Amino acid sequence: MSHKSHAVAGLGAALALATGLAGCSASSSPSTSTSPSASASTGGAPVVNGVAQVKVTLTGGEGGDTCTADFATAPAGPITFTVENVSSTAITEVELQSELKILGEKENLAPGLPASSFTVTIDGGQYTLYCLGATPQTQPFTVTGQAAAAPTGSTATLLNQGAQDYAVWVGTQADGLKGAVAALKKAVDAGDVDAAKTAYIQGRPFYEKIESDVEGFVMPGFKVDDNKGNLDYLIDMRASNLDEKVGWSGFHAVERDLWKAGKITDSTKKYATELESNVGKLVDVVKTLEFKPEDLANGAAALLEEVQSGKITGEEEAYSHIDLYDFHANLEGARQAFGYLQPGLEKIDPDLLQQVVAQFGNVDTALGKLRTKDSPTGYLAWTAANRDEHRKALSQAVLALQQPMQKIAEKVATAT
């Protein structure tokens, strides 16, 4: 998971932040133009099939790595940002922000990978394009006009109903997370290492399935760059992004004690108590969220990025090595989000729908080859040796799914 101190979502408000990709207004196209030159003559991004198109190019050089958008303005409504890393080794992510709230993003932007995109629906106003590692890191982005009212019609109705149903499903996963963490705390308090390990394993999927929906919540009273108030960080930080000023916290602090140290200490009990408290705060907010159809699509894509960056690399579960179990949960979360969009997608683009379905099947096949009866998770321990042998095949399968998946957000954002 990405732990970004600049991501803001106050706990006192109900915010639509699936993957941090909630738009600021109802989604619809402000234009029916199909010509790229329709808005280019006014200096704004071209509008193609009702969606403004902005290309962001990342390059490296002796004077610093640069992040260049081909247009600095776009009309209100759906906007697709397509990001291509040509040669930058320093820029790791690109975000569109509104007062430091992330509206859309792409992460893990290694040079040479195919271009990837995200789509957001926003009203007119001043925004910031943030490129972590670039010189400079921020640049203004202007959106003109106002987005039209939400579309109506059979396809839009199906998609909007799917988004509502997805919100209910996210709530059930949040309830499961809360119960699972309570069980983990009970086992830790009892000093039972084996029971705590079991509870830890059973609890992780609830978080991983909705991981893209819970990123970036900062508690009231904390600055946006203070990880002490970032619930995402406090719950799911890991060794690779440890903030020394905050210290160990959350799931992976407990994981470290259970698997690396092999014992439960007073510190472990403190970690479990804090985890239960922070999860409770997060769940209260998660259950107030509302989603747009494009949020589901972007969230599914973000979960697949998480698989590539944290699970296949072995970074997530550095001590228990249950990364493939988390992989499976991320995949299931992406599948659920996609599934709620499927009735609408059957009307919009059945060919794309079938491509995605087929690629989900291919990932299932690749992951299924790594199942074993000799593990409590049902998957091979994701040790260095197993990663060296299998991660290339897994990564290629996930990449093949990511390519058609990233097209869905734009499709559903403009459905009528």
Q: 36 pLDDT exceeds 70? A: no
What global pTM score does this model have? 0.79
Measure Cα distances from 297 to 168, 355, 391 in Å: 16, 15, 25
Name the residue with higher pLDDT: 222 or 68: 68
The mean pLDDT of 218-225, rounded to a whole number, is: 83
Cβ neighbourhood burial of 374 (10 Å; 0-12, 13-18, 19+): exposed
Domain 154-413, classified CATH 1.20.1420.20, yes or no: yes
- pLDDT score for 259: 98
- pLDDT score for 313: 96
Q: Where are the domains of the chain?
A: 29-144, 154-413
Q: What is the pLDDT of residues 136-150, one digit of tens each?
A: 889 999 999 987 666
User: Which class does domain 29-144 fall in?
Assistant: mainly beta
Q: What is the pLDDT of residues 229-260, one digit of tens each?
A: 888 889 999 988 888 999 999 999 999 999 99
Q: What percent of the chain shows pLDDT beyond 90?
A: 71
The mean pLDDT of 405-410, rounded to a whole number, is: 95
The values of phi and psi at residue 317, to 5°, are -105, 70
- pLDDT score for 32: 30
- pLDDT score for 33: 33
Q: 21 pLDDT exceeds 50? A: no
Q: 288 pLDDT exceeds 80? A: yes
- Reported as a pLDDT band with limits 50, 70 and 90, residue 39 is very low
- Reported as a pLDDT band with limits 50, 70 and 90, residue 29 is very low
- pLDDT score for 109: 87
Q: What is the pLDDT of residues 331-368, one digit of tens each?
A: 999 999 999 999 999 999 999 999 999 999 999 999 99
The strand order across the sheet containing 138-144 reads 73-75, 138-144, 125-132, 93-98, 101-107
Q: What is the pLDDT of residues 53-107, one digit of tens each?
A: 999 999 998 888 999 999 999 999 999 999 999 999 888 889 998 876 778 888 8
Q: What is the pLDDT of residues 368-377, one digit of tens each?
A: 999 988 899 9
Query: What mean pLDDT value characterizes the chain?
Result: 87
Q: 38 pLDDT exceeds 50? A: no
Q: 228 pLDDT exceeds 70? A: yes
Q: What percent of the chain shows pLDDT beyond 70?
A: 88
Q: Picking from 16-25, 76-85, 167-176, which range would have the lowest pLDDT averaged per residue?
A: 16-25
Q: What's the rounded Cα separation, in Å, for the pair 178 and 133?
A: 36
